[in-house]
Chains A and B, each alone.
Chain A
Amino acid sequence: MTLLNDFYIRAEKLKVPLNVLIELTQACNASCLHCYIKSAKEKFTLSPDNNELTLKQYKELFEELAGLGALNLIFTGGEALLRKDFFEIAFLAKEMHFALSIFSNGILIDENISDKLSDLQPVSVYFSLYGKDSLVHDRITGADGSFLKVCQAIKLLKERGIAVGLKTMVMRDNFPQLKEIYSLGKESGVNTHDFGEEITRCIDGSCSPQLAQLDEKQLYEYYRGNIPGPFEYREELSKEEAMKKQLCAAGTFGACISAYGDIYPCAELRVSLGNIKRESFSQCWKAKNDILEELRLLNTYGDLEACRECRNIAFCRRCPGRAFSETGDWKSCYPGAILRSRVTRMINSELEPNRKEQICV
């Protein structure tokens, strides 16, 4: 066993929330089609509201998280940089030896902010990139000029030696530009470029973000295509092996804290474990709580009744948060998982070596 694995195993055994996503504000200067925080009717709130956590509350929270062993803090929003005290909060976390990552749309990043980020030394700053040009990117973000600003932000941070990652949600509007978006990431010299296509419902239950999702034909083309990499055929796992596949670590390694102090197992699994305005993070994290106990006890696909009898179990990459938002039960199967595992299985089968011969036989 490697030292790193050993560290993670110990952390898991002790239920250390190693990775904590912090939604610093719900305010945002963009209005993305697929945003899970707010539905379209409420978007473009530029000022954080008074009920959001204060600097003092963050100080107490960080002290507690550091004591529990949390290491990675990911600051997100809304747009995290809209908080006037963003750097006070971030430097507070830095002093407590957290590894910091920031998710941003890049709109507010100028020379001055870039210099401050350089002093902060985050492990990485991740930007959303949705198009190869203003036409598509700005249409998706709903913010004029956002494409030019994110390109500028990437340049400013790269010049200062800050690791930059890109995140692209592949959807109907930008699917035709996928190749060019990928190339743009390469040309920008970013450190990582992640692609995803599964869109979550809004936290208020609205399905409107999912209207932007790829349809089945596009999903097939996307999986079958070469971006970010070619689909690689893999021999189907036996049922026994597939049942041993690990579920996501929400509620064990990871947690999410909303701008208002609500604690969730992850950003997508919005089952409140408590609120840090009323009780400490530790109390909530260690409390006897049905959903936390289940998340920590049920570790493999085979532990879930819904997965055990599924013929596509070997190809499924289920998300407990999406299952919860679509069915009300994180353990249930849900339409997105059915579709994606079926399409993956179909492509895998098409790419099976000697397929023709097998069919002839």
Chain B
Amino acid sequence: MRIVVLALLLASATATAEPGGRCAGGVCDVDTGPRPWVLTDSCHEDHDVVGYHRCPGFDWAKGENEPDIAVEAGLGWRHVLAPPVPAMMTARTASGDTPLADIATAELRLTVGLRGFYGGLELSIGDLTRRTYSFGALVQGGVVGGVQIPLGPFVVGAELLGGGRSERLTHNINNNMAPAVTAGIVEARARAGVWVTPWLMIEGALGTGVLDRRERFATVGVAFHSRTYAGQR
């Protein structure tokens, strides 16, 4: 393998680009016309003039319908249906068979937006341990879609999430692992955010379960956008 890599590097270094030619993987096309001011002996970027550069240019340029890609991370609170206590376990602090639990979650999502509409994927991971059982975890994910409206430095919007949730409890993390309890979820949410830089937004959301209205949801987080102001201004 090392020999192959060495050979490729050698070929790249020795492939002398004809002036104005283009290179890829050590192989250079020959263009016509003498251009002694373009001095290259490899396929590294050596020129910033259109037509001569080898790396793709126009990294600043956006297409008219280029979507905004947003990566968001945050912390959340969820008031969710907890799984029933497994018969083989003893709940540490469970009060009777109360099906609801308050848990903290870590939230991560990736969305793609255009012209005020967006869609994407969302993942939440929560800890069911503290108020329910010795050990417990919640993982939920789904597809999210919504609309957002810019209001000066603020953005408000509404969205819907559809997906699934898995909860698992155990009294001993090494043994007695209960089977995962899975359920489908639909959540309706209102979102709001404020731009702190053209690319960064601090945002929050409030939501409720659609299938079970007793479920509640709140998050705060930060979102990094590929287009300034999500390309909405």
| Chain A bound to chain B | no
B residues apposed to A, CB below 8 Å: none
